[in-house]
Amino acid sequence: MWGKLGRIFRLGVKELYSLRADPVMLILVIYTFTIAVYTVSTGAKLEVENASVAVVDEDGSMLSERLRDALIPPFFKEPTLIEANEIDAAMNAGRFVFVLEIPPKFEENAIAGRKPSLQLDIDATAMSQAGNGASYIQSIILKEVAVALPSNVTAQPIHLIISTRFNPNLQSTWFTAVMQVINNITMLSVILTGAALIREREHGTIEHLLVMPLTPAEIMMSKIWANGLVIVAAAVFSLVIVVERLLSVPIAGSLGLFIFCAVLYQFSVTSLGILIATASGSMAQFGLISMPILIVMNLLSGSTTPMDSQPLWLQYAMTISPSTHFVALSQAILYRGAGFNVVWLEAAALFLLGTAFFIIALIRFRSTVATAR
């Protein structure tokens, strides 16, 4: 019995030495239980925090200024003053989650007890903030009016008219369905492309490719376009048949523009999948490495919680993730009907990130080919 325990102990020590000799796995363990936990915990928030607000103040009174000043951190960013004719363009571009419109003579009518109306426009693509934020703002406005005009307090001193854009009934299905398609594009693009490369290595077919007149770049590009074509076709089918037909979720923008941007996104994330595969020794190791990366890419891309709710340093850090740019342009196209003039910057970021990932992956893949030879 003691001999068996001794052998088990020595085998365990051998595994510890093997783990110490595998820097990829060590980094993965450290990353999973430090950076991944911290970033997701601090970035994936469902409560209202740092929501962007604009105010159209056509009254210019002390009461309207008081309402603006009441929208303070940490729930809201400092309100931005805009003109009434800027509302549509600002909301279509996704600059603000909330726009509060204060009409002329608001204070005068409130003092006279005429119950003036305010309008609150909400961008419902930020589902986790839209409902709660509207309740916060309504409570803040009623409280501030009651404090400012204590002698004129009635059951409801003002009317707050809420106008919800891009998802008027705040149906979670509208948001979840599209975001699920986007998240699945990310997950499958990384896994299919990376797994295809590892499968070649494990089955020994990489040697067959090496004796052919093929360059590493050609091998990589073949895997990128083949797997990317399958995923883009499946995503378009899901949007048209499942999302638009079965779930009755309207697609506001151009499907052709979305496909073009999805192809750019495929180029970047499939290159990332190959890069992860070149750092993996086996299919199991590839799965362990890609899992935490995919979790962070999906949770902190803006598809689960708005980017505004994340710490500023994390927002900057997530700009190196192609999923952040793809979620932003997909929401703009599919929800708000944005054209290329609105999303071109995000599309350019996808192309640049894809090029960077492809070059790094190509360098590592060449070294793998040289080792195999």
> What does the pLDDT look like over 200-212, one tens digit per residue?
777 766 666 666 6
Q: Which residues contact 183 (CB under 8 A, 6 or more apart)?
A: 298, 303
176 shares a domain with 160 = no
326 shares a domain with 243 = yes
160 shares a domain with 178 = no
Per the model's pLDDT, the better-predicted residue between 31 and 325 turns out to be: 325
Q: Is 1 inside any structural domain?
A: no
Q: Is 7 inside any structural domain?
A: no
Which candidate, 263, 183, 274, 202, places its Cα nearest to that of 230? 263
Confidence at residue 194, expressed as pLDDT on a 0 to 100 scale = 83
28 shares a domain with 114 = no
Domain of 222, in residue numbers: 22-44+172-372
36 shares a domain with 158 = no
190 shares a domain with 326 = yes
149 shares a domain with 29 = no
Which candidate, 141, 129, 126, places its Cα nearest to that of 48? 129
108 shares a domain with 214 = no
Q: Among the three residues 165, 187, 218, which one is the final residue of a domain in this structure?
A: 165
Say which DSSP state 78 is in: P
What number of CA atoms fall less than 13 Å from residue 226's CA on the CB side?
A: 11
Which candidate, 295, 270, 298, 294, places its Cα nearest to that of 195? 270
CATH code at 58?
3.40.1710.10
pTM, 2 dp: 0.73
Residues 216/362, Cβ–Cβ less than 8 Å: yes
350 shares a domain with 335 = yes
What number of CA atoms fall less than 13 Å from residue 143's CA on the CB side?
A: 10
Q: Roughly how many angstroms between the first and final C-alpha of the chain, as a whole number?
A: 47
Q: Is 2 inside any structural domain?
A: no
Q: Among the three residues 149, 165, 181, which one is the final residue of a domain in this structure?
A: 165
Q: Is 191 inside any structural domain?
A: yes
Q: Which residues contact 152 (CB under 8 A, 6 or more apart)?
A: 110, 111, 113
Q: Is 9 inside any structural domain?
A: no
Q: Is 128 inside any structural domain?
A: yes
Burial 135-150 (b: 16+ CB within 10 A, else e): ebbeebbeebbeebbe
Q: Is 185 inside any structural domain?
A: yes
> What does the pLDDT look like over 7-21, one tens digit per residue?
656 655 655 665 577
292 shares a domain with 159 = no
The edge-to-edge listing of strands for the beta sheet with 53-57 is 80-81, 53-57, 98-102, 117-123, 159-165
227 shares a domain with 134 = no
What is the CA 271 to chain-centroid distance, rounded? 19
105 shares a domain with 39 = no
Q: Is 16 inside any structural domain?
A: no
> What does the pLDDT look like over 264-303, one tens digit per residue?
998 999 889 988 988 887 888 888 888 888 888 888 888 7
Q: Among the three residues 165, 195, 224, which one is the final residue of a domain in this structure?
A: 165
How many independent structural domains does the chain possess? 2
Pairing assessment for the beta strands 80-81 and 117-123 based on DSSP bridges: unpaired
> What does the pLDDT look like over 212-269, one tens digit per residue?
666 777 777 887 888 788 888 888 888 888 888 888 888 888 999 999 999 999 899 9
Q: Residue holding tokens 């009518």?
A: 109
Tokens matching residue 8: 């088990």
